[in-house]
């Protein structure tokens, strides 16, 4: 379980397709203390919960290896990742940690496409579109996770929605580099999903 508060920016420094391209072994460099990364640990990478299979230190940087399987490659932006791709990272919650964002499972629901970017004096406004199936879970002032970042929805119109990003978030996540046409991972709010399911069952 995660909160959508990014704690580091990682970089893919190793990329090995295996199993006829149905599995990618990724090596991600980061600034985490390697002694705190156990094999089997969960780390959210651009919102995708991946399992650490190995870790170590090379030079001044820690690295950890994860496998992106067929379903992850089919449903998320992981299919576009390559050497040099930068990723928003978050370690799994521990009991007693501050819940700074909202409850995030790390199970990406699909992809949103960036329609436009507007740079304002004190922030940036992004408009995105997604599928009708996912759009029904998105509400004004509700929570949403985009590439692993917990955000508040600003406006909603049919299958498009917007978010406002403050300078701090632009500087400590990959959002600062977003541009029109980019695809990002989207995880809808768990509470919205449960509320919709309860309504369906009535």
Contact by Cβ (8 Å): 41, 179: no
What pLDDT is recorded for position 98? 75
Tell whether the model's pLDDT for residue 93 goes beyond 90. Answer: no
What pLDDT is recorded for position 18? 83
Residue 58: which of 76, 31, 79 has the closest Cα?
Answer: 31
What pLDDT is recorded for position 35? 96
Confidence category of residue 202, pLDDT binned at 50, 70, 90: low
Residue 72: which of 129, 30, 146, 21 has the closest Cα?
Answer: 21
| Interatomic CA distance for residues 62 and 28, integer angstroms | 8
| Interatomic CA distance for residues 2 and 24, integer angstroms | 23
Report the pLDDT averaged over residues 87-94.
Answer: 94
What pLDDT is recorded for position 120? 93
| Interatomic CA distance for residues 5 and 116, integer angstroms | 24
What pLDDT is recorded for position 65? 98
pTM score? 0.93
The torsion angles phi and psi of 47, rounded to 5 degrees, stand at: 90, -5
| Interatomic CA distance for residues 68 and 22, integer angstroms | 8
Show which residues are catalytic: 2, 42, 49, 51, 69, 107, 152
Tell whether the model's pLDDT for residue 134 goes beyond 70. Answer: yes
Report the pLDDT averaged over residues 101-124.
Answer: 93
Tell whether the model's pLDDT for residue 186 goes beyond 70. Answer: yes
Least confident range of 93-102, 110-119, 123-132:
93-102
Report the pLDDT averaged over residues 100-117.
Answer: 93
Contact by Cβ (8 Å): 79, 151: no
Percentage of the chain with pLDDT > 70? 99
Pairing verdict, β 8-18 and 124-129: unpaired
Contact by Cβ (8 Å): 4, 150: yes
What is the rounded average pLDDT for all residues in the chain?
Answer: 93
């Amino acid at each position: 379980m995660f909160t959508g508060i990014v704690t580091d920016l990682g970089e893919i420094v190793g990329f090995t397709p295996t199993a006829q391209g149905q599995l990618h072994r990724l090596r991600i460099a980061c600034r985490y203390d390697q002694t705190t990364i156990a094999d089997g640990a969960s780390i959210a990478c651009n919102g995708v919960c991946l399992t650490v299979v190995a870790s170590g230190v090379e030079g001044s940087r820690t690295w950890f290896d994860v496998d992106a399987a067929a379903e992850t490659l089919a449903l998320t932006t992981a299919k576009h990742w390559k050497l040099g791709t930068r990723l928003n990272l978050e370690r799994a919650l521990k009991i007693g940690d501050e819940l700074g964002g909202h409850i995030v499972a790390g199970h990406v629901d699909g992809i949103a496409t960036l329609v436009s970017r507007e740079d304002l004096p004190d922030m940036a406004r992004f408009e995105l579109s997604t599928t009708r199936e996912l759009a029904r879970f998105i509400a004004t002032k509700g929570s949403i996770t985009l590439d692993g970042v917990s955000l508040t929805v600003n406006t909603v119109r049919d299958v498009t929605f917007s978010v406002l990003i403050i300078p701090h978030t632009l500087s400590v996540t990959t959002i600062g580099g977003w541009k029109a046409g980019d695809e990002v991972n989207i995880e809808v709010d768990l509470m919205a999903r449960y509320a919709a399911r309860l309504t369906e069952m009535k």
